[in-house]
Structure 1
Amino acid sequence: MFIRLDFESDEPIYTQLIHQIIEGIAKKNLSPGDPLPSVRAMAADIGINLHTVNKAYQHLKQEGFILIHRQKGVVIHPDGVAKADAAYMEQVQKKLRPFVAESICRQVSEEVFLKQCQELFNEFNEEGEKK
């Protein structure tokens, strides 16, 4: 699997795991219906506590990225991820707000900020098109 965690990071391990799985979906390394390792298997594979994996999986389930079946195990949501709605766009704005404010404080121009966003967006789209 493609999971790479930074154990020295200030970002919690479960958050890193969530982000890595979402990136895998965005880059089409993971497709609807693809299985993920069980909580125990994932924890053993990457050397972390199973409660950390469980917390990440529960968050991903709540956000509609995965389904957890007792018989089938953990799978990427077979119907794909739900399209953005007004509530999601509100969340995006709320999360971007501190990044924009800090960028302005650090004298990052709007052009540079938007260019960086565009480069990231393109990175995900290009990776996904290769699959």
Structure 2
Amino acid sequence: MILSLDLDSEVRIYLQIRNRIVEAIASGELVEGSSLPSTRRLAVDLGINFHTVNKAYDLLRREGLLRINRKSGALVQRDARTAPPQPGFTDEWETRLRTLLAEAVAHGVGDPAVLDSCGSVLTSFTSSPLAAGGPHHGTKQGDSVS
């Protein structure tokens, strides 16, 4: 997995890192047990401060997607196969979804376009080999992500 960041974006870099990792988990590119580079290694690779990467990893840890310890580093804790969601996740997620949909409507995006976009994005995740129950082509435990 290669992280693509937009340093000119209004979205903070740590959130971009978090978002790209969540997307990689959702698509099956990263599966439960996949290892991520150390905060220092990823920071060097991206040319950013390691505290920025640490903030992204810590957010993912608090969200229950990563587990972090000194011996094994950062590992993906859950993926699309890990069910059900943690208690309270669905309520919080629906709140964020409501805001995203409100932004689209406020900017004049019509219902059909919103639904088409939602369907396309969801299909991009559910059509992965992981979601289809096929073999995992993502990073396995012990493999690095850069």
Q: Calculate the TM-score normalised by the size of structure 1.
A: 0.87
* Identity within the alignment, %: 34
1:57 aligned partner, one-letter code: Y
Counterpart in the other structure of 1:75 = 75
Give the aligned length.
130
Tell me how far apart the structure 2 counterparts of residues 100 and 72 of structure 1 sit (CA, whole Å): 39
Counterpart in the other structure of 2:44 = 44
1:116 aligned partner, one-letter code: S
Tell me how far apart the structure 2 counterparts of residues 39 and 75 of structure 1 sit (CA, whole Å): 12
Counterpart in the other structure of 2:3 = 3
Tell me how far apart the structure 1 counterparts of residues 48 and 73 of structure 2 sit (CA, whole Å): 19
Q: Contact conserved, 1:103 with 1:113, CA < 8 A, in 2? A: yes
Change (3 A) 1:10 1:82: farther
Counterpart in the other structure of 1:103 = 104
Tell me how far apart the structure 2 counterparts of residues 3 and 52 of structure 1 sit (CA, whole Å): 14
Higher relative contact order (CA 8 A, sep 6+): 2
Tell me how far apart the structure 2 counterparts of residues 106 and 57 of structure 1 sit (CA, whole Å): 32
Q: Calculate the TM-score normalised by the size of structure 2.
A: 0.79
- 3-state SS of 1:68 partner: strand
Counterpart in the other structure of 1:56 = 56
Q: Contact conserved, 1:5 with 1:16, CA < 8 A, in 2? A: yes
CA RMSD of aligned residues (A): 2.0
More helix by share: 1
Gaps of 5+ in 2: 138-146
